[in-house]
Amino acid sequence: MATLARKDAYADFPVKKVSLYFITLGFIALSIGTLFGPFQALNYANLNLYPWLQKILPFVKSYYQGLTLHGVLNAIVFTQLFAQGALLYLQSKEMKMLPQMGVAWAAWWLAFVGLVLAAIPLLLDDATVLYTFYPPLKGHPLFYIGAALIIVSSLVSVYLSVELWHRWKKQNPNKPTPLVSYMSVATWMMWGVAAIGLVIEAVVLLIPWSLGLLKGVDPLLSRTLFWWTGHPIVYFWLLPAYVVWYGILPKRTGGKLISDPLARLVFLAFLIFSSPVGFHHQFADPGIDPFWKLVHTVLTMMVAVPSLVTAFTIAASLELGARAAGGRGMLGWIKKLNWKDPIVLASTLGAIAFIAGGAGGIVNASFTLDYVVHNTTWIPGHFHLPVATAVTLTHMGLAAVLIPHLTGKPLVGLRYFRAGVVLWFTGMMLMAIGMHTMGLLGVPRRAWISNIAPNLEGIYSSSAIWMVLNGIAGTILLIAATPIFYVLFATLLQGRRLAPEERPELEFTEAISGPEGRRSVMVMDRLYFWWATALVIVLVVYMPTLIRIWSTFVSAPGYRLW
């Protein structure tokens, strides 16, 4: 083992350093956000530990403040920063080209400053508005300004990815974009269309309102702009994990991707159909024409199709590798997957959780069924499967390989990491069972129920057992998080570095059916055209409703409830 001077560590490929900075900042956010999770699970086990938490962390004033920190740091900040770091590196590595490095660092600084600005009011209980920041709940201007800077940073990442692709295309005019880069560019282009709603909401409504320049804002208009971004943001979280499932996972278990063009089609479908679906979060909102709710429902069902395709192709790729390693039987091959590999373990467990998470999503997307579960704990039960299990586990698994790969520092404590991953999966599955069932029994989401016990006797008696399960799951998750974060941060902070030839490689999957010589692949490669198509569709399904709501602008003043 050789010790290299720090300054030499990234000299071979400087994008490694900026990617590492994004990923590290993301994990710092996640480790803080995760801390509040068990307290929320225990709230739903009717244990109010907030007075006790206040003694250790005096700035925490309520369940709602903890929930805001949890949602913002985990769901919004961690996922975005990880995508910015990982996708930038994977695309640059595959294209063997550097992105515009100064711009990449500018994106990191924008995200960092945005995070610090938003964190101040969050920690001071001055922006307890939950991660959806629905008006008329009103937060401190710094929160909205910080959040806007974080979004601007993500848009700089859109530019970085597209610019790099554009340069590569100029140098390789008749070649199809390599697969991982294709998936990465499509993801960023999708986000480029998706983010517009939130940008308008922040710049035109929330920031001027919080600064006192606007007397009030229209809650329905704000919610509609929010969900323009709020649904596709979940695919912005998911697609970097899909990049790993398609581009890296099969390789690490000895398999191959079944079809390269099909993987492209999946990402193209996400580019086109991710955004025009936001009304499925607003089925219960008055003031939106049922016709448009129906259109968004149909498109929601369409956007589930690429995930169904993914389920079958990724399972087939895994089976291929496991059978090649001697796996037999209808399900017996599963034992032969390379479970010791952190990417395989974490991503496959995450994908298994997503089978249930996806099924729940389709229930939510069905207009009439959604009325039963809307605003109950069913909804957090649903989304912890895709985002907190499938996406977060995949990112953790990738980080366990990527951090040593980028830094040259050997992973510390792989066995602890694996144990943490299995416990994380177990805890999330148990919590999902508890929350889905409690939701069906009518327990509301986002409620400090352990603090308002006397009013909820009926709910307690019918769902007591599920509440206990929730508490147990939250405790398991606290135990799970400890070794995972310990291993990742101990790896980062150690002084040892491997010699370049000893560093772990990160190889991309090969496909059985490749892209060569296929006209369909070249058609799919016209990404500017598909990007414009995505924008047109989203304008068609949003503009009639937005214009109508705008024309009857209701000016609501701000409220602070907690």
In angstroms, give the least distance from the CB of 506 to ligand HAS.
21
Q: In which residue are the tokens 């100064």 written?
A: 102
Indicate if 296 belongs to the active site. Answer: no
Stretch that binds Cu ion, among 202-210, 224-232, 288-296, 349-357 (CB under 5 A): 224-232
- Does position 252 interact with Cu ion (CB under 5 A)? The reply is no
What DSSP state is assigned to residue 377? T
How many CB atoms within 10 Å of residue 547? Answer: 9
Indicate if 131 belongs to the active site. Answer: no
* DSSP result, 174-207: TSPPPHHHHHHHHHHHHHHHHTHHHHHIIIIIIH
CB closer to Cu ion, 231 vs 252:
231
Residues 78 and 38: their CA atoms lie apart, in Å, by 18
Nearest to 197 by CA among 223, 167, 174, 166: 223
Indicate if 279 belongs to the active site. Answer: no
CB closer to ligand HAS, 321 vs 358:
358
Indicate if 166 belongs to the active site. Answer: no
- Binding residue for ligand HAS (CB under 6 A) from 183, 193, 238, 258? 238
CB closer to ligand HAS, 182 vs 245:
245
From residue 325 to residue 354, the character string flagging contacts with ligand HAS as x (rule: CB under 6 A) and all else as - is: ---------x-------------x--xx-x
In angstroms, give the least distance from the CB of 83 to ligand HAS.
12
Tell me the backbone φ, ψ of residue 257, rounded to 5 degrees: -75, 140
Residues 257 and 514: their CA atoms lie apart, in Å, by 9
In angstroms, give the least distance from the CB of 534 to ligand HAS.
16
Stretch that binds ligand HAS, among 160-168, 230-238, 465-473, 522-530 (CB under 6 A): 230-238
In angstroms, give the least distance from the CB of 238 to ligand HAS.
4
CB closer to ligand HAS, 108 vs 245:
245
Report whether 237 contacts 496 (CB < 8 A). Answer: no
- Does position 263 interact with ligand HAS (CB under 6 A)? The reply is no
Residues 265 and 165: their CA atoms lie apart, in Å, by 18
Residues 384 and 70: their CA atoms lie apart, in Å, by 12
Q: Which two tokens stand for residue 144?
A: 């909205």
Site for ligand HAS in 179-198 (CB under 6 A): none
Nearest to 377 by CA among 50, 136, 34, 67: 67
- Does position 269 interact with ligand HAS (CB under 6 A)? The reply is no
Q: In which residue are the tokens 């515009």 written?
A: 100
Helix (H) or strand (E) holding 512: strand 511-513
Looking at beta carbons, which residue is closest to Cu ion? Answer: 231
Which whole-number Å values give the CA distances from 558 to 136, 150, 497, 522, in the listed order?
5, 23, 53, 51
Nearest to 522 by CA among 87, 173, 185: 173
Tell me the backbone φ, ψ of residue 256, rounded to 5 degrees: -130, 160
CB closer to ligand HAS, 38 vs 232:
232
Nearest to 76 by CA among 383, 467, 512, 417: 383
CB closer to ligand HAS, 100 vs 132:
132
Looking at beta carbons, which residue is closest to ligand HAS? Answer: 358
CB closer to ligand HAS, 218 vs 319:
319
Annotated catalytic residue: which of 231, 405, 418, 497? 231
Positive or negative CA dihedral for 288, 291, 292, 298? Answer: positive
- Does position 231 interact with Cu ion (CB under 5 A)? The reply is yes
Work out what residue 374 binds among Cu ion, ligand HAS, none; the CB cut-off runs from 5 to 8 Å by kind.
Answer: ligand HAS
In angstroms, give the least distance from the CB of 349 to ligand HAS.
9
CB closer to Cu ion, 145 vs 373:
373
Indicate if 446 belongs to the active site. Answer: yes
Site for ligand HAS in 355-394 (CB under 6 A): 355, 358, 361-362, 364-365, 370, 374, 379, 382-383, 386-387, 391
Tell me the backbone φ, ψ of residue 515, rounded to 5 degrees: -90, -10
In angstroms, give the least distance from the CB of 312 to Cu ion.
22
* Contacting residues for 253 by C-beta, under 8 A, at least 6 apart: 318, 321, 322, 325, 337, 338, 341, 344
Q: In which residue are the tokens 């970085």 written?
A: 160
- Binding residue for ligand HAS (CB under 6 A) from 118, 234, 299, 346? 234
- Does position 16 interact with ligand HAS (CB under 6 A)? The reply is no
- Binding residue for ligand HAS (CB under 6 A) from 259, 310, 463, 470? 310
Stretch that binds ligand HAS, among 81-89, 287-295, 302-310, 421-429 (CB under 6 A): 302-310
- 43 SS3 class: helix
Indicate if 383 belongs to the active site. Answer: yes
Residue 137 pairs in a beta bridge with 559
How many CB atoms within 10 Å of residue 220? Answer: 20
Indicate if 50 belongs to the active site. Answer: no
Residues 506 and 441: their CA atoms lie apart, in Å, by 46
| Range list of H helices, 232-341 | 232-247, 249-252, 260-273, 290-324
CB closer to ligand HAS, 200 vs 233:
233
* DSSP result, 199-263: HHIIIIIIHHHHTTSSS-B-HHHHHHHHHHHHTHHHHHHHHHHHHHHHHTHHHHTT--EEEHHHH
Report whether 179 contacts 511 (CB < 8 A). Answer: yes
Annotated catalytic residue: which of 446, 503, 518, 548? 446
From residue 78 to residue 117, the character string flagging contacts with ligand HAS as x (rule: CB under 6 A) and all else as - is: ----------------------------------------
CB closer to Cu ion, 245 vs 283:
283
Annotated catalytic residue: which of 252, 264, 280, 382? 382
Stretch that binds ligand HAS, among 187-195, 310-318, 480-488, 509-517 (CB under 6 A): 310-318
Work out what residue 370 binds among Cu ion, ligand HAS, none; the CB cut-off runs from 5 to 8 Å by kind.
Answer: ligand HAS
Q: Which two tokens stand for residue 129?
A: 């508005």
Q: Which residues bind ligand HAS (CB under 6 A)?
A: 132, 234, 237-238, 280-281, 300, 303-304, 307-308, 310-311, 314-315, 318, 334, 348, 351-352, 354-355, 358, 361-362, 364-365, 370, 374, 379, 382-383, 386-387, 391
Residues marked active site are found at 231, 235, 382-384, 445-446
Q: Which residues bind Cu ion (CB under 5 A)?
A: 231
